[in-house]
A and B are shown apart, each in its own frame.
Chain A
């Protein structure tokens, strides 16, 4: 069963609010976790599978969020139109920069994506006539889905959860296809992939654009859910956090990205009790995991628990 892990996960997501109704960690932190999962799953396609590091992924998340925020607050656009506008803008930008950026490798690629992320962040801070500057922009309207107002924590849980599951499903599908294998081949050996007829730069560009679009849509949802955006949410640090989510769970595993996103969403919630020590502990955990479990928490666990479970979660082996 190719999607057994997915169904299990979907059932878990559906059951949580039933078992723990009105629980802060489910309906509030849970929604944040969903957004992070969406971002991490998209980034994992680019980083985990295609092997292209991005230290500026928060930029696309930010562009989506800000296009939604600015056009709905300042110009009264319909949120759905705003969302589409965000996607179009991100599509344009991603296509524009993808080719030159993805020609770079290793640390140079890291630098270029990082630089891009910082540029976008600075623009969000500086273009205050539109973005409201460092103070951000508030009063973003909620979403209305066919007359159904998404206005409570639980409703947002449903909407974000559904989109999140869609992302996971899409990602699982892509990996197990001609295009997905091409992605992984590019990661495995560029020269071999190209001599088998795979257009390396085209493949990289497509997945870069796709993960940017996924981030943009997440950003739009995030803006409407929070009703407020500020540049802090889209800084260099958040890009790093996203990379950490993907690596923490385990590169090249969709559920690894899910796992990493969940852990990193809840970790600060629990570290709050340590107050000033929060940062210290966070840094230490990052280092320890990367040093001792470099393949990621989830992937290592999946391998340890045994082939019985690993077969369910690890994609790529197909019996159909």
Chain B
């Protein structure tokens, strides 16, 4: 029983770490531009797929991973430049449809480039299981956890300590005021999209060796990332990280003790309950409207 629980915790934290990264990407973009980017999951897929292809081409492992992140960042920048920026005054519903359109578009592109095949990625460092009591974990699990922890810390540092990070935060509070004090708002938006695309790609690369990747893997991951961000309270990056971890744990424990078929349903039921009783998310402030 205890071993089982530890096993679920290990899996849960791993899965949760991936959700956390995707959710973090959601929160960063939402903060900077009030847009929920439904193409966030596609960043994950593109990152993983590009890495796998580059490795297959014989490019050294580390270089391939870096290049895959770079490719995804470019996709993110293009998305901002050619879609989001063109529709600056769009309503919430319009931006939702635009980013959903973008996600379908990117999935379509992936379908053309990679087909419908299932891809797997060789792990970063071997497949020899590590024993924790009677539970086991793969080296890749540790990579996922460590990679996520490191990127979350870096993102925190970026927003709290660097001028650019603070400028993006300023945009998220008040775009007009930010531009009045000389912040280049358009540049900050681009940076945010690039950053969250990069985080998405990183999530993809980290989890690709554990799961399989297909052209449509991004859909569920995107939805889970969105759920993580909502759970944490939209626009609260660290809340999104916590939400992601929570979601991963919930899912794995639900799958283990209740039913694996219903694991996604369990996660969404919890999200609905949270929204019903804490409409602003777990770590967010309640919504208020000015009259």
User: Would you give the shortest CB distance from A47 to chain B, in whole angstroms?
Assistant: 7
Q: In the bound complex, do residue B268 and residue A115 qualify as a contact, i.e. CB atoms below 8 Å apart?
A: yes
Q: Does B230 touch A at the CB level, under 8 Å?
A: yes
Lowest 4 A-B CB distances belong to which pairs?
A: A283-B105, A280-B108, A286-B101, A279-B108
Q: How far is A247 from B61 in the complex, measured between Cα atoms in Å?
A: 45
Q: Does A95 touch B at the CB level, under 8 Å?
A: no
Q: In the bound complex, do residue A53 and residue B92 qualify as a contact, i.e. CB atoms below 8 Å apart?
A: yes
Q: In the bound complex, do residue A123 and residue B265 qualify as a contact, i.e. CB atoms below 8 Å apart?
A: yes
A interface SS class:
helix
Q: In the bound complex, do residue B97 and residue A286 qualify as a contact, i.e. CB atoms below 8 Å apart?
A: yes
Interface of chain A residues 99 through 116 with chain B (CB within 8 A) = 100-101, 103-108, 110-112, 114-116
Q: How far is A247 from B87 in the complex, measured between Cα atoms in Å?
A: 15
Q: In the bound complex, do residue B108 and residue A282 qualify as a contact, i.e. CB atoms below 8 Å apart?
A: yes
What are 27 A-B interface contacts by the 8 Å CB criterion?
A101-B276, A104-B275, A107-B30, A107-B92, A108-B281, A110-B36, A111-B226, A112-B271, A114-B223, A115-B227, A119-B268, A119-B269, A123-B265, A247-B93, A251-B93, A276-B111, A280-B108, A280-B111, A281-B108, A283-B102, A283-B106, A284-B101, A284-B105, A286-B97, A286-B100, A290-B97, A294-B87
Q: How far is A306 from B101 in the complex, measured between Cα atoms in Å?
A: 30
Which one, A34-42, A63-71, A169-177, A236-244, is touching chain B?
Answer: A236-244
| Seed contacts A111-B230, A244-B97, A291-B83; 18 additional CB < 8 Å A-B pairs | A100-B275, A110-B96, A115-B275, A122-B264, A126-B259, A126-B265, A190-B289, A243-B96, A276-B111, A277-B108, A280-B111, A283-B103, A286-B98, A286-B100, A287-B101, A290-B98, A291-B87, A294-B90
- CB contact under 8 A between A107 and B36, given known A119-B269, A191-B289, A236-B223: yes
Q: Report chain B residues within 8 Å CB of A190.
A: 289
Q: Does B130 touch A at the CB level, under 8 Å?
A: no
Q: Which bracket fits the contact residues of B?
A: 35 or more
Chain A interface residue count, Cβ-Cβ cutoff 8 angstroms? 46
User: Would you give the shortest CB distance from B84 to chain A, in whole angstroms?
Assistant: 9
Binary per-residue interface labels of chain B (116-142) against chain A in the complex, 1 for a CB within 8 Å, 0 otherwise: 000000000000000000000000000
Q: Does B287 touch A at the CB level, under 8 Å?
A: yes
Q: Name B's A-contacting residues (CB within 8 A).
A: 30, 36, 83, 86-87, 90-94, 96-98, 100-109, 111-112, 219, 223, 226-227, 230, 234, 259, 261-262, 264-265, 268-269, 271-272, 275-276, 279-281, 287, 289, 291
Question: For B97, B111, B265, B275, which residue has the most chain A Cβ atoms within 10 angstroms?
Answer: B97
Q: Report chain B residues within 8 Å CB of A123.
A: 265
Question: For A53, A103, A114, which residue has the most chain B Cβ atoms within 10 angstroms?
Answer: A114
